[in-house]
Amino acid sequence: MLFRSPTKVPRIALRPVTVALVAGVVVGFAQAAPMLHLPILFEHIQGMPPLLAVAAIAPFVIALLLAGPVSGLLLTRYRPRTLIGGGVIAVGLANLVLWLALSPEMPYLVAVLPFALIGSGFVIATTVRTAVIFANMPSRMPSMAAAFNEASIGVGARLGVVVATVVTMQVALNAFARPTAGGLIAARPGEMSGTDRKSTRLNSSHT
């Protein structure tokens, strides 16, 4: 009588995988919010042309390209935990600087270094955490490792978009509803609303 040997249940190293997944959510969140809303600030508040407002995030893209090969070299010298933590800290510090400097008159040069920090920190943390996830998942389950890896970044990025949008809208609504001496916020001297401009054009055409 033949007996089939019991199948071994694949084991996942929960601690390193959990840390890598949490780091993915954090960096996904922290890079999505500024990359979505700062081009809007540049275009609609500071008056940049649309193409130039998008091109303003070039330091982020350049840092992405340069930090990729560097992260592989760093992994041979430093522990994965150190690199993941350093990448998360770099992205967090960049977001903090942008938050402190954020205003309608913020000079573009103030955002250059934070953009570069977000790009490099994101790539280093993401590259190393991907290696950690695949190294601590069963070798016969690469699709599950890839799914975990992608899901953590995706969840973080979507949370960043939603939370940043809600906060931005709430701040804008509070600003528009702020009472003034004459009720709601009035137009500044020398400014006309769209309705007033249309009425002026109609009156001038009739005369």
pLDDT in tens, the chain (207 residues): 444 545 565 677 888 899 999 999 999 999 888 888 899 889 888 899 999 998 999 999 999 999 988 888 888 889 988 999 999 999 999 999 998 998 888 999 999 999 999 999 999 999 999 989 998 988 888 888 899 989 999 999 999 889 888 888 887 788 777 655 444 444 444 444 444 444 444 445 555
How far apart CA 102 and CA 85 sit, in angstroms, is 25
Q: Name the residue among 150, 137, 144, 138 with its Cα closest to residue 17.
A: 137
Q: What is the reported pLDDT for 10?
A: 65
| Sign for the pseudo-dihedral over CA of 88, 111, 171, 165 | negative
SS3 123: helix
Segments in 41-141 forming alpha helices (H): 50-55, 58-75, 80-101, 108-135
Q: What is the reported pLDDT for 195?
A: 44
CA distances from 68 to 16, 122, 177 (A): 22, 10, 46
- Which H or E run contains 61? helix 58-75
Main-chain phi, psi angles of 183, to 5 degrees: 110, -125
Treating both helix axes as pointing N-terminal to C-terminal, what angle do 108-135 and 14-40 enclose, rounded to 10 degrees?
A: 160
What Rg value do the Cα atoms of the chain yield, rounded?
Answer: 24
SS3 96: helix
Q: What is the reported pLDDT for 4?
A: 52
CB 81 within 8 A of CB 19: yes
Main-chain phi, psi angles of 135, to 5 degrees: -75, -25
Q: What is the reported pLDDT for 111?
A: 92
Q: What is the reported pLDDT for 98?
A: 92
